Amino acid sequence: MFDTNHPLKLLFLKENVIFIMICVLFCASCSVKRPLAPTPAIQLTKIEPPVLKKHTEKMNVAAEFKRIFEASRLTFIYPDQIDSFYKNNEYQPVLISRFMADDQLQTFEGYLMNVDAHGIDPQVFTVNRIKKLLDNYIHENARKKERESYRDAMELELVIADAIIKYSNAMQFGIVDPARVYINYSTPTLRPDSMTVIQVLKVKNLKAYLDSIQPKDKQYVALQKALKAEQENPQENDSTYRILKVNLERLRWKNKPLTDKYVQVNIPEFMLSVIDSGKVSLRMKVCVGEQALDKETPQLGSKIYSVQVNPVWNIPQSIAGNEIIAYAKKNRYYFANNDINVYRNGKLVGDPESIDWKSEETGAYSFKQQPGEQNPLGRIKFLFNNESSVYLHDTPVQAPFKQKGRAVSHGCVRVEQPLNLAYALFGKGEKFDQIKKAMANGYPRAKYIGLPLQVPVWISYYTAWADKKGAVHFYKDIYGLDDVLYKQLSFPFSQLY
């Protein structure tokens, strides 16, 4: 045992204690981990899905993404296509990852905020929600737990995907489907399909794509310019703004003939134009259908394939029942005086004067007016297939062409200069010479003459249209179709498809 009272032993003990303490301190200092370097600030400009996958032990990423998607499914216009896209991408926020790095999402937000330049309310694309989610993600996610941050990314991702599809569709096809808006609409109109939607979500350079889909047609640009002037100088009565808004939408519809040559009838303008290589080669007045649902001239697209010189008029049942029979009741010789043949169950009636139209059941009868001066189709009609049985035709009654408002027909389009229209379609040659000679014949006989090359006819409805100098002219909404379309444009986007 140590004698602690001995001076040497005491000194030895003290030195050993000091040595042991130094060793303990040294060993302790070696066992303590060095402080980690400060954690760098979270970079919100890009999300790397592979990094996020490391946290699947705490949260099933794919399941969470699908849960958030299902909660929003009813707000998407193409939910199945969006779901398919993300399924192929393992339910990861690929758009944020792709577009956040160089501020392309902020650029997209800017396009949405300025969409009123197209006459579209930015809220159609839920721009306020996008702005809130994007700002929140950029500025506040650094202070959130990773689970919350990733859920925010999922929600932002889906809202962006839906908005890109909506904006792409709006710029290229319009917001609404005209066939669902109008009753008398049978113009072939291209609409977005599933493949179009998927391709939009695969775009690599968002800004370049957004620029590429901006409408650039001269008509569209002219109406945009007029809209901007209207927005800069707002009036108490916003009717001009409304007119420009609905006509910009009409110009976004893909229903215009793609051929170099076509015939356009603009119903509210009461005018026909022949377009050839982008230029108007012929203009003339027309008369269109009356302001009644059963007499309106329909919007349609077809191809003129033939003319009938000195045409036979197959009188529609609606006209026969409402007008022709009424005339016959007053005058038993009405049919003979007007060169109208009467048929019962398809067989010619030899003596229609003997029929008592006041008591006769008229449903079994049909009527055909023969060529001549009394025929309301005049000397020629231009034929094209359509569901409404309408056509362009001449007329013996010229007085309506002197009127400003020319909605006077039963639905067909009466043309002011039929011979000039025939020349514009056929051109110089034997067939046109036949038409000209047959129309001048004092003893007319019906004759069909086919067009060597069919020419598209586009019967449209624009209440605002720019001339070749870019000046916008406004026309009366004779069928009330502006109001119908304006109400549809005010609906949420998800209800328009």
Phi, psi angles (nearest 5°) of residue 239: -60, -40
State the pLDDT confidence band at 142, using cuts at 50, 70 and 90. Answer: low
Domain tally for the chain?
4
Quick one: which of 89, 68, 40, 38 has its CA closest to 150? 68
Among the three residues 369, 392, 414, which one is the final residue of a domain in this structure? Answer: 369
Residues 272 and 330 in one domain: no
To the query of whether residue 393 is one of the catalytic residues in this protein, the response is: yes
Rounded Cα gap, residues 482 and 247, in angstroms:
8
Say what the pLDDT of residue 143 is: 58
By CB neighbour count within 10 A (0-12 exposed, 13-18 middle, 19+ buried), where does 104 fall? Answer: buried
Long-range contacts of 438-443 (CB under 8 A, 24+ apart): 438/309, 438/310, 438/379, 439/309, 439/310, 439/379, 439/380, 441/310
Q: Are 194 and 263 part of one and the same domain?
A: no
Whether residues 300 and 400 share a domain: the answer is yes
Q: What is the pLDDT of residues 330-366, one digit of tens each?
A: 998 999 999 999 999 999 998 898 888 888 887 889 9
**DSSP output for 190-213:** B---HHHHHHHHT-S-HHHHHHHT
Give residue-wise pLDDT tens across range 56-77: 444 688 888 999 999 989 889 8
Q: Do 385 and 348 share a domain, yes or no? A: no
- Do 68 and 141 sit in the same domain of this protein? yes
| pLDDT for res 53 | 44
**Do residues 11 and 160 share a domain?**
no
Domain assignment present for 237: no
Q: Which domain holds residue 350?
A: 313-369
- Which of these is catalytic: 118, 287, 393, 410? 393
Q: Which amino acid is at 140?
A: E
Candidates 118, 287, 410, 412; catalytic one: 412
Looking at residue 153, what is its pLDDT?
86
CATH of the domain at 393: 2.40.440.10
Is the model's pLDDT at 427 over the cut of 70?
A: yes
Q: Are residues 118 and 260 in the same domain?
A: no
Query: What is the per-residue pLDDT across 145-184, written as a single tens digit (0 to 9) for each?
Result: 555 677 888 999 999 999 999 999 999 999 999 999 999 9
Known catalytic membership, residue 412: yes
Q: What is the model's pLDDT at position 79?
A: 93
Query: Do 305 and 319 fall within a single domain?
Result: no
- Residues 192, 287: one domain? no
The C-alpha atoms of residue 164 and residue 25 are separated, in whole angstroms, by 64
* Pair 21, 82 in one domain: no
pLDDT at 41 over 50: no
Pairing of strands 340-344, 313-314: unpaired
Report CA torsion sign: 266, 269, 270, 273.
negative
Residue 28 above 80 pLDDT?
no
Helix (H, G, I), strand (E, B) or coil at 395: coil
Within-domain flag for 249: no
Q: Is the pTM of this model over 0.85?
A: no
Q: Residues 305, 438: one domain?
A: yes
